């Protein structure tokens, strides 16, 4: 059986994702679609709208055959580390192809740009260093440096978020010496960060989440942009737990962590650098909400996303020592779910996987998975008290989801 991989967050699964899966199958002529999906905290430093189990079920009902969790230590990182972890999982699971959405839609431009930057590596690094010295953020320095070097007509536009991720996916394939063949499809209608609905049936996950949180009628206003199965699972999650997760649900927990931790202890958390600990503590004292706190700590040097990721690491107490030991490859395959077709693939191929397959936490004792467990426990604290134990225990008791 031939497998195509996708790297996703599904926050939540929507019509654009369904289009991507259909295009991935068509372009690769694969028998199976394998998804690597972030867990309960995401690459932009945010809690997922609903739990990884609910999102995994959306994915399986939407066209994915097998879904593995992208471990916390990759899922909450910059694009390069995120990509390395995800690609290593797809490679270990025997994927022949990786299909990603991009603003470009042209694989040649990705390959040309990667080769060009390799040729211009010394100059590129000098530009980056020079830009960083002006006080801009690292992602901004990368973008400005590339603009200084390359003409936009013949190279990839690296100001676009999905182009950036796709660029890192292909670099990861090369770096890991994987035999995976990359494929790309152009994103339809909605840009990644669009906050407003831009078409009749396709909308960004950002705009869908904004609609959910903006009004009493939010759940109804997104119906035409999501499959019916997603609608049903969102409604069930809300009925079961009473919330959709967002940062404000965790503000009191984050504020407590900041106010009861010394600057010296806080400095040990991952991505806490250059005296940010003092700014975080001072702002926590003066802020009444997460939004207000973020506005106080935002600087020219650090992006909103980078600061949110730092907040996630404070919330989960992820230490520099824990995260610094992260290898460029994943060390396990955490199975969240499968379809009948996916189960067939696993039964025929799992003995050839280059990483251990984890279907139950009780059967896997390695310390690398401890951050995933801790992150899921912290995630569950946002729901009302009488539902917390259900989510807390789900991490250990929930078997992989199976869809006939």
Q: Which residues define the annotated binding site for ATP?
A: 7-20, 101, 162, 187
Work out whether strand 66-70 and strand 333-339 pair parallel, antiparallel, or are unpaired.
Answer: antiparallel
Query: How far does Cα 140 stand from its chain's mean position?
Result: 20
Residue 68 forms beta bridges with which residues?
36, 335
CA separation for the pair 255, 291 (Å, rounded): 12
Sign of the four-CA dihedral 223, 55, 239, 47: negative
For the beta carbon of residue 175, count every other beta carbon within 10 angstroms.
15
The residues near 177 (Cβ < 8 Å, ≥ 6 apart) are: none
* Annotation: binding site: 7-20, 101, 162, 187
CA separation for the pair 103, 35 (Å, rounded): 20
- Tokens standing for residue 367: 């310390």
Could you tell me if 34 and 370 are in contact, meaning their C-beta atoms sit under 8 angstroms apart? no
Could you tell me if 25 and 4 are in contact, meaning their C-beta atoms sit under 8 angstroms apart? yes
């Amino acid at each position: 059986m031939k497998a195509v991989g996708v790297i996703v967050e599904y926050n939540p699964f929507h019509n654009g994702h369904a289009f991507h899966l259909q295009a991935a199958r068509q372009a690769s002529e694969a028998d199976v679609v394998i998804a690597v999906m972030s867990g309960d905290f995401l690459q932009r430093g945010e809690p997922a709208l609903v739990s990884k189990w609910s999102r995994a079920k959306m994915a399986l009902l939407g066209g994915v055959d097998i879904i593995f969790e992208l471990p916390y230590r990759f899922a909450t990182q910059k694009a390069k580390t995120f990509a390395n972890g995800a690609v290593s999982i797809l490679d270990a699971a025997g994927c022949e192809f990786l299909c990603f959405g991009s603003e470009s839609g042209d694989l040649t431009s990705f390959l040309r740009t990667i080769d060009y930057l390799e040729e211009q590596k010394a100059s590129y690094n000098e530009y980056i260093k020079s830009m960083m010295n002006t006080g801009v953020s690292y992602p901004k320095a990368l973008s400005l440096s590339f603009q200084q070097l390359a003409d936009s007509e013949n190279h990839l536009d690296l100001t676009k978020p999905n182009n950036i991720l796709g660029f890192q996916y292909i670099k990861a394939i090369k770096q890991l010496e994987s035999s995976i063949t990359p494929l790309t499809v152009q994103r339809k209608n909605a840009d990644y960060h669009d906050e407003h609905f831009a078409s009749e049936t396709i909308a960004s996950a950002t705009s869908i989440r904004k609609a959910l949180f903006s009004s009493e009628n939010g759940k109804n206003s997104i119906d035409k942009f999501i499959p019916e199965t997603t609608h049903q699972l969102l409604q069930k999650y809300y009925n079961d737990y009473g919330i959709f997760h967002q940062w404000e649900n965790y503000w009191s927990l984050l504020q407590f962590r900041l106010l009861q931790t010394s600057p010296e202890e806080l400095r040990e958390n991952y991505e806490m650098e250059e005296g940010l600990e003092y700014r975080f503590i001072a702002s926590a004292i003066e802020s009444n909400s997460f939004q207000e706190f973020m506005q106080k700590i935002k600087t020219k040097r650090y992006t909103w996303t980078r600061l949110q990721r730092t907040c996630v690491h404070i919330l989960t107490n992820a230490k520099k020592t824990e995260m610094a030991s992260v290898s460029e490859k994943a060390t396990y395959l955490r199975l969240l779910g499968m379809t009948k077709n996916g189960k067939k693939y696993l039964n025929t191929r799992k003995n050839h996987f280059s990483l251990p397959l984890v279907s139950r936490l009780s059967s896997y004792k390695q310390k690398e998975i401890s951050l995933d467990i801790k992150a899921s426990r912290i995630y569950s604290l946002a729901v009302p008290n009488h539902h917390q134990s259900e989510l807390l225990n789900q991490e250990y008791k929930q078997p992989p989801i199976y869809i006939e």
